[in-house]
Structure 1
Amino acid sequence: MMKLIVLSEHSGNQTVIPVNRNSAVLATFTVLLLLIGLSVVLERVLSQQARLASTLLEQLQSDINQQRDGIAELEQNLSLNLEVSAARIARLESRLLRLDALGQRLTEYAALDQDEFDFSEQAGVGGPLPQGLVEPSPTSDQMNLTEPALKERLFRMSQAVLNRSDQLAVIERVLLRQQRLEEASLFGKPVAKGWVSSNYGMRTDPITGKRAWHNGVDIAGVKGVEVRAIASGIVTFSGTKSGYGKMVEINHGGGTVTRYAHHRALSVDAGDLVKRGQKIGEMGSSGRSTGPHVHYEIYKNGRSVDPSLYIHRARPTKSG
């Protein structure tokens, strides 16, 4: 027989509990089972927490690696973009050089003052550096592919393009003015081949044989030769007119009108817009005529003008 003595902490009294051997063994075994079960549960809890912590750590490490890879990719893309931008800028600078060459040719073509429109020299520009840009070293734009350097190159190139645009705009206006004067010029003959068979003014009429006034010049040639507009304008008449046969009348603006008569065939209609040198008909002998020719008249503000003043003069050159 075993005795289990229990002491009271407050009163100090003792209580004796008799315990037989079998009960003690059972109690001890029960306590051991409880301890073992508790340790198993605790181990499982700790194992789950460890696995969860390990999983979170792996996920965190994966996120860090992804961010690191992303940063590396951004750096690579940034470097690549800078290289691509530099290459594009170089191509634009090359095109600007070709633009300078074209501008130089236009300057020579338009007979402009080459000292004033000198595309071979850099235009005089300047001023303070815009805020946010850094003044580069002389070789920074060739040696360093940095964003400030590229911005500076773009800024300089945009200024050059603006200057070239202003110069080309002036040249364009000059050329357009020259073109309008050239298109409106009455110099030359309305046929590629032909000779003046009858002059402007008093003459012996080829039909009646009497003296009469001739209001134009006759240009004889081969039947079917193209008759061309002497200058740009609007066709105000295209058809048959008494005495003229098949005739075309063109209004060139500014009070200037030209007439072309005795066609074999007409190639334009009233209302058509024609350009200088455009075919308007074919030489013939329709109407009051003795053979194939073009009767050519010029009117200025309603009054007839001697066409020979223009037929026998050369067209003005680009230089004046």
Structure 2
Amino acid sequence: MNIIIVGRRHGESRNIKLTSTVKHLLLGLLFALPMAMGAAGYWLAERLSGDMALAPDAAKAWERDLVEQRQELQALRHSAEQEMAALTVRLAEIQSRVMRLDAVGERLVDSAGLPSDEFDFGVAPSVGGPIAAPESNYQVPEISNAIQQLADRITSREQQLDILDDLFAAQKLSEDTFVAGRPITKGWMSSRYGYRADPFTGRSAWHAGVDFAGKDGSDIVAVAAGVVTYSGPRYGYGNLVEVNHGNGYKTRYAHCKEIKVSVGDIVRKSDVIALMGSTGRSTGPHVHFEVFKNGRSVDPAAYIHRRPR
């Protein structure tokens, strides 16, 4: 078999003679080429169809991931809202406890007679200091832990203040129930304790108290805190008020024009319990004042001139 090749320049030509082996090889290539192209086309079609089949599955998987992430985000948001609500309630509780501590502190300041301008619980305490370099191993505590630590400190302060309050209250009660002073705000002592000439008979008679004369209707005051155990008329005493002060002490206030308290009332030191008058066995406006210790009458003079605690 001869192949003639004609060139473009000068119309030159060349003859190529093919052997039988080459001829058979070329024929084989001509038959194999279409088969190879068909196989390549089939492989490419299968590959593309496989990719197209994977695409919907991948989209569904991504959609499921997005739904799960949205649900997790919603759960986190709900949890954060619950924690914030709990923290708000906790802060309100701590604030109420701080207000209670302020009230207790103000009462202690008042009871102890401390300067109110130096211990003003309505103003935040003055603090300050240079900026210190933070420690390398310091970790900021969580909000809930910080709040719990603050609550624990407040609980400790509450216990300490309660103890101090009890001590001050006991001391104040001891001072208030300490029998001392005069049972009047204005007037003078007109008769002492002991034997004297009876104002009606002129004979020597025992006088179990002291008399303070004054203006009719003037105030009669308790010489110590206590509980009223008698309030009303009694023979010889006229209108009588009796106060039990505890620790074995009891006082009486007689010849009252008007009584201001009733049995069972709690009176404080210097409270007005009656008005001066001349009821009962009396020659004029005055108060007959008696002091009893452990059931026995004692000279009130020792308590009238007694220095208060």
Question: Would the TM-score normalized by the shorter structure come out above 0.5?
Answer: yes
Structure 1 residue 98, shift from structure 2 partner: 8.7
Is 1:198 the counterpart of 2:227 in the alignment? Answer: no
Residue 296 of structure 1 aligns with an amino acid whose one-letter code is F
Aligned counterparts of 2:159 and 2:248: Cα–Cα separation in 1: 34
What corresponds to 1:214 in structure 2?
207
- C-alpha RMSD of the superposition: 3.9
**Change over 3 Å in CA distance of 1:267–1:98 after alignment to 2:** closer
**Change over 3 Å in CA distance of 1:66–1:232 after alignment to 2:** farther
Is 1:287 the counterpart of 2:245 in the alignment? Answer: no
Conservation of the 8 A alpha-carbon contact between 1:183 and 1:275: no
Residue 71 of structure 1 aligns with an amino acid whose one-letter code is E
Instruction: Kindly provide the CA deviation profile for residues 269-305 of structure 1, in whole angstroms up to 9, marking residues without a partner as x.
Output: 34x2322244332110111212111100001112111
Is 1:268 the counterpart of 2:261 in the alignment? Answer: yes
Instruction: Kindly provide the CA deviation profile for residues 209-234 of structure 1, in whole angstroms up to 9, marking residues without a partner as x.
Output: 34433211111222112323333333
Aligned counterparts of 1:228 and 1:69: Cα–Cα separation in 2: 78
Residue 204 of structure 1 aligns with an amino acid whose one-letter code is A
Is 1:244 the counterpart of 2:243 in the alignment? Answer: no
Aligned counterparts of 1:192 and 1:222: Cα–Cα separation in 2: 11
Aligned counterparts of 2:266 and 2:111: Cα–Cα separation in 1: 25
Residue 182 of structure 1 aligns with an amino acid whose one-letter code is E
**Change over 3 Å in CA distance of 1:202–1:138 after alignment to 2:** farther
The range that moved more, 179-188 or 291-300, is: 179-188
Structure 1 residue 68, shift from structure 2 partner: 4.1
Is 1:158 the counterpart of 2:159 in the alignment? Answer: no
What corresponds to 1:180 in structure 2?
173
**Change over 3 Å in CA distance of 1:302–1:178 after alignment to 2:** same
Aligned counterparts of 1:157 and 1:220: Cα–Cα separation in 2: 61
Residue 277 of structure 2 aligns with an amino acid whose one-letter code is G
Conservation of the 8 A alpha-carbon contact between 1:110 and 1:171: no
Aligned counterparts of 1:203 and 1:315: Cα–Cα separation in 2: 29
Conservation of the 8 A alpha-carbon contact between 2:104 and 2:161: no
Give the 3-state SS of the residue equivalent to 2:158 in structure 1.
Answer: helix
**Change over 3 Å in CA distance of 1:101–1:229 after alignment to 2:** closer
**Change over 3 Å in CA distance of 1:68–1:166 after alignment to 2:** same
Structure 1 residue 202, shift from structure 2 partner: 2.9
Conservation of the 8 A alpha-carbon contact between 2:230 and 2:241: yes
What's the TM-score once normalised by structure 1's chain length? 0.58
The range that moved more, 290-299 or 250-259, is: 250-259
What corresponds to 1:76 in structure 2?
77
The residue correspondences of 1:1-320 to structure 2 (distance < 5 A) are: 68-79=69-80, 92=94, 96=98, 99=101, 103=105, 106=108, 109-110=111-112, 138=138, 140-141=140-141, 149-270=142-263, 272-276=264-268, 277-316=270-309
Unaligned runs of at least 5 residues, structure 1: 1-52, 113-119, 121-135, 142-148
Aligned counterparts of 1:238 and 1:102: Cα–Cα separation in 2: 36
Number of equivalenced pairs: 230
**Change over 3 Å in CA distance of 1:153–1:104 after alignment to 2:** farther
Query: Which is greater in Rg?
Result: 2
Structure 1 residue 64, shift from structure 2 partner: 6.8
Unaligned runs of at least 5 residues, structure 2: 1-55, 115-124, 126-135
Aligned counterparts of 1:101 and 1:232: Cα–Cα separation in 2: 24
- Give aligned-pair identity as a percent: 39
Aligned counterparts of 2:99 and 2:241: Cα–Cα separation in 1: 49
Aligned counterparts of 1:280 and 1:111: Cα–Cα separation in 2: 27
